[in-house]
Amino acid sequence: MTEEEWLTALLPIRMVDRIGLGASQRKLRLFACAATRRVWEEVDQWAQYPNNPHRKTVEAAELFADAIMSAETFAGYRPAGFDVEGVVTEDAYGSARWAVTHLITSMPDEAAEWIEQAALLLDIFGNPFRPVAFSSDWRTDTALALARTMYEAREFSAMPILADALQDAGCDNDDILSHCRDPKQVHVRGCWVVDLVLRLS
């Protein structure tokens, strides 16, 4: 996959395969969780049947991704008899591939879901062809507070304000500033700019 194909990708499975097993386990799992959160109503329907995942499994997977929940406790959220797919698998790459295969094919409009998941991948992984060097000088108290609040609340409307704070601190990176200010850009936990501010990987 070329850089241009990555930035214009509509097939998230190719994007996940491009990232590969070497990608951040945390980010891969947060992607799977974000993709699942997009379809909460469907998750509620799945939970009506034995051995299927439900919202609490997604929330547990997020805690596990952020090392707030232990692997032992996380394993308890795997429904009995549930195959090793979905957000509760120990393998984060497997979780991501589950999202771009099984989860997508379970949606009424697969093509629309491809676009939505590709947007999530772009938010979480940015442009892997051009890693951004982030200066510690840009991590001001204001930037840190904004990033932390958005991350904890899962509410990212303050991204343009974060861009202003970073720019005030001397950030002149167009990729960072445009990502924060793009009104069409979706943001979720794992957003590559927020992660850079918070020193998360």
Residue 109 has pLDDT above 60, yes or no: yes
Instruction: For residue 182, give its domain range.
Output: 136-198
pLDDT band at 110 (very low <50, low <70, confident <90, very high): confident
Structure tokens at 191: 């957003």
Both 118 and 177 in one domain: the answer is no
Alpha carbon distance 122, 120 (integer Å): 5
What is the tens place of the pLDDT at every residue in 118-140? Answer: 999 999 999 999 999 999 999 99
Q: How confident is the model at residue 50 (pLDDT cuts 50, 70, 90)?
A: low
Last residue of a domain, one of 74, 94, 125: 125
Q: Look at residues 123, 118, 124, 65 and name the one whose alpha carbon lies nearest to residue 89.
A: 65
Residue indicated by tokens 């970073």: 166
pLDDT at site 49: 63
Which domain-ending residue is among 80, 95, 125? 125
pLDDT number for residue 136: 96
What tens digit of pLDDT does each residue of 51-80 get?
556 788 889 999 999 999 999 998 888 765
In a domain, 131, yes or no: no
Has residue 39 been placed in a domain? yes
Classify burial at 76, counting beta carbons within 10 Å of its beta carbon; exposed 0-12, middle 13-18, buried 19 or more: exposed
Residues 32, 88 within the same domain: yes
- Residue 77 to residue 70: CA distance in whole angstroms: 11
Six-digit token pair at 64? 């596990």
